[in-house]
Amino acid sequence: MIGTMLRLAAQLGPFGPRAERFARQPLRQWDVTVDAGAGRRFPMRMLIPRRPAGALLVAPGLHYAGPADPRMHAFITQLAGSGILVGAPFLPDFCDLALAPTLISDFSAAYQEFVARLPPRRRGVWRVGVFSISFGSLPALRLASNPEFASQVSGVVTFGGYADWTTALRFSLTGESPDPNQPKPPHDPLNQPVIFMNLLESMPGDIAPPRLHAPLREAWRRYIRSTWGRPEMKAPERYRPVAQAIAGELPANGRELFLMACGIAPGGLELALAALEQSPPRDFLDPRPAMQTGLKAPLHLIHGADDDVIPPSEMRRLAASAPAGVRVRTYLTGLYSHTHAEDAAGPGALVRELRTMLGMLGGIAEVATGR
């Protein structure tokens, strides 16, 4: 485990690419198909180092590109470069920017396929760890809490995970944390359309008739594909022309709602909050009941102090949801944001973060190697 941790430090630590070339193992990429039943089939990317020391199944966050997103691909490549055999499924719902119950069954099917594809191990059998990013914490924690798999999973690492989905969405909309001591982060204006996509059926009044749902969702997908992952697009003068061009191709009675979701027309925030308030219960989105009854594996919870999508208070709520007897470690870091590493502020910041970083990397290495 120590060797894996040191290689992870070279790959993911503050010295990043300058050190990783000395540690990275040659990799083989293998794209396999997961059959989740009921006609649901989707790809899973496996990255296989020459001498794997452990195995991690990664639950990506909600993103149209899934593991092919450049930031996500770079991350799983770094994991594999440290000697960890990595699997990362293209979960159809997340790639479609949707929160749906099939996320849980699809990820379970990906786990079974991943285990079945693992090469023979020289000594003993593989114990597979699970790593999740953002909303990927839901399928990851539900898998590890499922009695069918709970005793097989060596551990769970969440990065930017959540406990209460309504709190997470409200924070993403407003930046207002339930923790009064949590400073308000810079607001990301590009998050709101995906929340509209998932709350359309709960919009008040007749502002979103069902016949408009499909064209509106497709228009928001186009907008998101044109803006996400590009920090410069967070400026109104950059995202406004994109939204207006797409709106011009929609039916006239759908344009205002589209622009409200994109933050161009007024009233979008208020409408989204009203829809969130009257949305029917979605019990499948709450990982805590399953955790409290079924989780057995160690839990490592990582959260960025400046996360602008899910508040750090959700990390503490997840920790409190673990049953007695489950070992839980929490790591609040200023070195990493919700989806990528931040530039270091200087030597002092690196020293302050060093202990946290070593704990995080040790947790990942422990979960991956099953030790």
Percent of the chain with pLDDT over 70: 86
- Tell me the domain boundaries of the chain: 2-164+286-369, 190-278
Above 60 in pLDDT, residue 260? yes
Which residue has 């704990």 as its token pair? 359
Distances (CA, A) of 16 to 88, 198, 269: 22, 36, 38
Across 5-9, 135-139, 356-360, least confident range: 5-9
Q: Any alpha helices (H) in 13-91, and if so which ranges?
A: 17-20, 70-81
Q: Are 4 and 365 in contact (CB under 8 A)?
A: yes
pTM for the structure as a whole? 0.90
Report helix, strand or coil for 291: helix
Residue 350: what pLDDT? 57
Q: Are 104 and 138 in contact (CB under 8 A)?
A: yes
Give pLDDT tens digits for 63-97.
Answer: 999 999 999 999 999 999 999 999 999 999 999 99
Q: Which CATH class is domain 2-164+286-369?
A: alpha beta
Q: Any alpha helices (H) in the chain, and if so which ranges?
A: 2-12, 17-20, 70-81, 92-95, 102-117, 137-144, 165-174, 192-199, 213-227, 236-247, 252-261, 268-278, 288-294, 313-321, 347-369
Residue 15: what pLDDT? 46
Give pLDDT tens digits for 144-187.
Answer: 999 999 999 999 999 999 999 999 999 999 988 777 777 666 67
Give pLDDT tens digits for 274-305.
Answer: 999 999 999 999 999 999 999 999 999 999 98
Q: Are strands 27-37 and 84-89 parallel, antiparallel or unpaired?
A: unpaired
